[in-house]
Amino acid sequence: MTEKIEKLMSEIESLAAKNAEEAEALRIKYLGKKGEITALMNDFRNVPAEQKREIGQKLNILKTAVQNKINELKEAAEVQQNAGSSVDLTRTPYPVSLGTRHPLTIVKNEIVDIFSRLGFTLAEGPEVEDDWHVYSSMNFADDHPARDMQDTFFVESHPDIILRSHTSSVQARVMEKTQPPIRVICPGRVYRNEAISARAHCFFHQVEGLYIDKNVSFTDLKQVLLLFAQEMFGPDTKIRLRPSYFPFTEPSAEMDISCHLCGGKGCSFCKHTGWVEILGCGMVDPAVLEANGIDSTIYTGYAFGMGIERITNLKYQVKDLRMFSENDIRFLDEFTSAN
Ligand code: DAH
């Protein structure tokens, strides 16, 4: 037995394997169920009691030596295999794709950027508002239909706390804290109690503009809106103003731009009129100035408000409003922006 152990001991020192399979074959040869060392372990039973201690120790040393040698061979085979392959172990495990900005964010940024170049600064207000800032201070009569539950979301049926239904509320927030000159642009989300469809949603986005100073006139408003339209939709864009009504402006108007798809000739997009509506505007009603602590005998101002979804639709022809809030990656990936 001792002889056999010594023979195997010298044999394993010179063991070699070209690859992992050969190393495994060696493991089976020595340590497998019918392996040479396993056989020796089984024979150990027959060793006379007085030799058991010495031979047992030698056997254990042999077994550990074989195990170590085979592990060594396996590791070496693995390293060799990796070195020969083209796998780059330093790469990240999966490709990281870049996100894109949401189309509404891209358009909002563009609108804010155009007006900031005209001297407007950013102002924001809360989405959960009170009746005063959304309606009363904006000169809505107590029985105005917009205050109705069909249009407005109330917070836990509290009659005074609502989700703002337009960004005109930010006008009131700015006026109550600041004396003129005021020149602000106010983007934000608004809510209306509407059934969701391709053409309406219970939330959407607006940008409000407000300019109050001495001697501000309707001409100033018109010039600023023309500049905006041409920056947003191209230098050939024309505008027209149609008389309209809003509680917070007097006189009020709605602004159309010449259809940028057909250049004003008439197409199905502009319903063959050559014009598409983009915003509401007007001179701030003196009653609004007074309600918000601004002397209407000294100051005048203009205001305008537009839907960001509407502007985005005009730019990108998004047919269904729901696309903006579904977060479908295929839709979002179509928009890329530099900023
Ligand atoms: N608040 C109006 C709306 O939600 C939009 C609007 C129209 C805002 C005229 C204005 C304005 O500031 O002057 O439909």
Give the range among 197-201, 209-213, 239-243 with minimum mean pLDDT.
Answer: 197-201
Token reading at 284: 């701030």
How large a percentage of the chain has pLDDT more than 70?
99
Structural domain containing residue 73: 2-83
Distance of CA 190 to the CA centre of its chain: 19
| Confidence check: pLDDT of 234 > 60 | yes
Q: Number of structural domains, the chain?
A: 2
Q: What is the mean pLDDT of residues 82-103?
A: 79
Of the pLDDT bands very low, low, confident and very high (cuts 50, 70, 90), residue 3 is confident
Whether 107 maps to a domain, the answer reads yes
Give the distance (Å) from ligand 1 centre to CA of residue 304. 6
Atom of ligand 1 nearest to the CA of 168: 1
Whether 88 maps to a domain, the answer reads no
Q: CB within 6 Å of ligand 1 — which residues? A: 166, 168, 208, 246, 249, 280-282, 303-305
Give the range among 20-29, 128-137, 150-159, 268-277 with minimum mean pLDDT.
Answer: 150-159
**Three-class DSSP category at 253:** strand
pLDDT of 95: 75
Phi, psi angle pair for 274, to nearest 5°: 85, -5
How large a percentage of the chain has pLDDT more than 90?
63
Same domain, 109 and 60: no
Same domain, 29 and 145: no
Whether 257 maps to a domain, the answer reads yes
CA-closest residue to ligand 1 atom 2: 305
pLDDT of 79: 79
pLDDT of 336: 75
Q: What is the mean pLDDT of residues 306-327?
A: 93
Whether 92 maps to a domain, the answer reads no
* CATH number assigned to the domain comprising residue 264: 3.30.930.10
pLDDT of 337: 62
Token reading at 265: 């000739």
Of the pLDDT bands very low, low, confident and very high (cuts 50, 70, 90), residue 128 is very high
Give the distance (Å) from ligand 1 centre to CA of residue 287. 16
Same domain, 46 and 148: no
Q: What is the mean pLDDT of residues 132-147?
A: 92
Whether 339 maps to a domain, the answer reads no
| Confidence check: pLDDT of 260 > 90 | no
| Confidence check: pLDDT of 338 > 70 | no
Give the distance (Å) from ligand 1 centre to CA of residue 280. 5
Same domain, 146 and 181: yes
Give the distance (Å) from ligand 1 centre to CA of residue 332. 29
Give the distance (Å) from ligand 1 centre to CA of residue 305. 4
Rounded CA separation 214/296 (Å): 10
Same domain, 75 and 122: no
| Confidence check: pLDDT of 249 > 70 | yes
Rounded CA separation 18/36 (Å): 22
Rounded CA separation 338/8 (Å): 72
Same domain, 57 and 144: no
Give the distance (Å) from ligand 1 centre to CA of residue 286. 16
Of the pLDDT bands very low, low, confident and very high (cuts 50, 70, 90), residue 158 is confident
Same domain, 160 and 121: yes
Atom of ligand 1 nearest to the CA of 166: 4
- Averaged pLDDT of the chain: 92
Of the pLDDT bands very low, low, confident and very high (cuts 50, 70, 90), residue 88 is confident
Residue corresponding to tokens 């979804």: 309
pTM, two decimals, is: 0.73
Residue among 171, 185, 208, 300 to mutate when testing ligand 1 (max atoms within 8 A of CB): 208
CB 204 within 8 Å of CB 309: yes
Give the distance (Å) from ligand 1 centre to CA of residue 247. 9
Amino acid at 79: V
| Confidence check: pLDDT of 14 > 70 | yes
Residue among 135, 186, 246 to mutate when testing ligand 1 (max atoms within 8 A of CB): 246
**Three-class DSSP category at 251:** strand
Same domain, 10 and 140: no
| Confidence check: pLDDT of 305 > 60 | yes
Residue corresponding to tokens 């010594």: 6
Same domain, 78 and 122: no
Residue among 173, 244, 248 to mutate when testing ligand 1 (max atoms within 8 A of CB): 248
Q: What is the mean pLDDT of residues 132-137?
A: 96
Residue-wise pLDDT for 198-208, tens only, equals 999 999 999 99
Atom of ligand 1 nearest to the CA of 209: 12
| Confidence check: pLDDT of 339 > 60 | no
CA-closest residue to ligand 1 atom 8: 305
CA-closest residue to ligand 1 atom 7: 280
pLDDT of 222: 98
| Confidence check: pLDDT of 196 > 90 | yes
Give the distance (Å) from ligand 1 centre to CA of residue 143. 19
Give the distance (Å) from ligand 1 centre to CA of residue 32. 85
Of the pLDDT bands very low, low, confident and very high (cuts 50, 70, 90), residue 89 is confident
Same domain, 79 and 147: no
Token reading at 57: 């120790």
Residue among 111, 165, 166 to mutate when testing ligand 1 (max atoms within 8 A of CB): 166
CA-closest residue to ligand 1 atom 4: 166
Whether 186 maps to a domain, the answer reads yes
Q: What is the mean pLDDT of residues 214-230?
A: 98
Whether 165 maps to a domain, the answer reads yes
CA-closest residue to ligand 1 atom 5: 305
Rounded CA separation 116/113 (Å): 5
Same domain, 237 and 138: yes
How far, CA to CA in Å, does 163 sit from each of 50, 137, 267, 304? Answer: 94, 16, 37, 20
